[in-house]
Amino acid sequence: MSMKILVLGATGNVGRPLIQALHTQGEQVKAASRTGQAVAGAEGVVFDYARPETFASAFDGVDRAYVMLPSGYVNAKELLLPVIQAAAQRRVKVVFQSVFGVDADDAIPYRQVEIALEQSGTPFVILRPNWFADNFHTYWKAGIDHGQIAVPAAEGQSSFIDVRDIADSAAAALTTNRFDGQAFNLTGPEAFSYAQAARILSEAIGKPIRYTPVDDQAFVDGLTGVGVPSDYAHFLASIFHPVRAGWTSAVIDHVQLLTGKPARALAAYARDHARSLG
């Protein structure tokens, strides 16, 4: 009989739809979070990246795990490597949510976590999602409420990925061994600049939204002004460099390869989330 699947970040944007997708396939799921609350019918379990003493109970009865680091952290390598080690010691298969483009340089912390996983001896699949479409109704919602998206992206384009497609891709990787030992880049079906994205969102919610490119310092000042920690604000600013350089504009069909369905268009995301965006 199949054992349970552990989902880290279970209360987050990817975790919730992933748990729902796994339940649809009849899987038993443990939902890991710092509070240990049950999520979408899944058994809740306390898990804290900074408290290794919580790992054993989370991994108990588990043969597969979705491993990711929630937003707000900048020390990815420090926090994730012990989790990878704990999974490997128990021969738990890991589907790891990494970051789009990290394979360009082995010195990138997320890439170093990938390498540790590849060398761990436990089965694995690596998923590298591009910028989330859902950032528009989470991270950038306060600006959209005032009719503006102000980020340091210049005219760079991104193939925004719907988190539902990340969740469906993760569910596919967790419920078959066909993709083991491989890495997949998750993108939407088309790349857009933030100005183009703003027009798509405007049409969906029936309210004008404009894109205002800003420099890194103005972006950091805006974030820290609403309470975002300085180190995380600077981290967010830094990851717009690949956008400006054109590195996030690639369109890759790995969502379809994993799920058998094409990735959702940004316009579909906007229509489906019009209430949250508006």
12 in Cβ contact with 39 (< 8 Å): no
**Total number of domains constituting the chain:** 1
Q: What is the pLDDT of residues 119-130, one digit of tens each?
A: 999 999 999 999
**Would you say how long the chain is, in residues?**
278
Assess if residue 123 is contained within a domain: yes
Please provide the average confidence, as pLDDT, over all residues in the chain. 95
CA atoms within 13 A on the CB side of 182: 16
Q: What is the reported pLDDT for 1?
A: 45
Of the two residues 14 and 225, the one the predictor is more confident about is 14
DSSP string, 191-223: -EEHHHHHHHHHHHHTS--EE----HHHHHHHH
For residue 122, the enclosing domain spans 4-132+160-189+249-263
Q: What is the pLDDT of residue 70?
A: 85
- Which residues are CB-neighbours of 19 under 8 A, at least 6 positions away? 7, 10, 29, 31, 39, 40, 41, 42
Q: What is the pLDDT of residues 177-191, one digit of tens each?
A: 999 999 999 999 999
Give the residues across from 192 on adjacent strands: 158
Q: Is residue 11 part of a domain?
A: yes
147 lies in some domain: no
Exposure b/e, 39-51, CB count within 10 A at least 16 = b: bbebebbebbbee
Give CA–CA dist 59/205, Å, rounded.
Answer: 43
Taking CA atoms, 186 is separated from 42, 137, 243, in Å, by 26, 20, 16
The CATH number assigned to the domain holding 71 equals 3.40.50.720
Q: Is residue 146 part of a domain?
A: no
Indicate whether 205 belongs to any domain. no
- Per-residue pLDDT band for 2 (boundaries 50, 70, 90) equals low
Mean pLDDT of the region 90-113? 96
Q: What is the pLDDT of residues 92-102, one digit of tens each?
A: 999 999 999 99
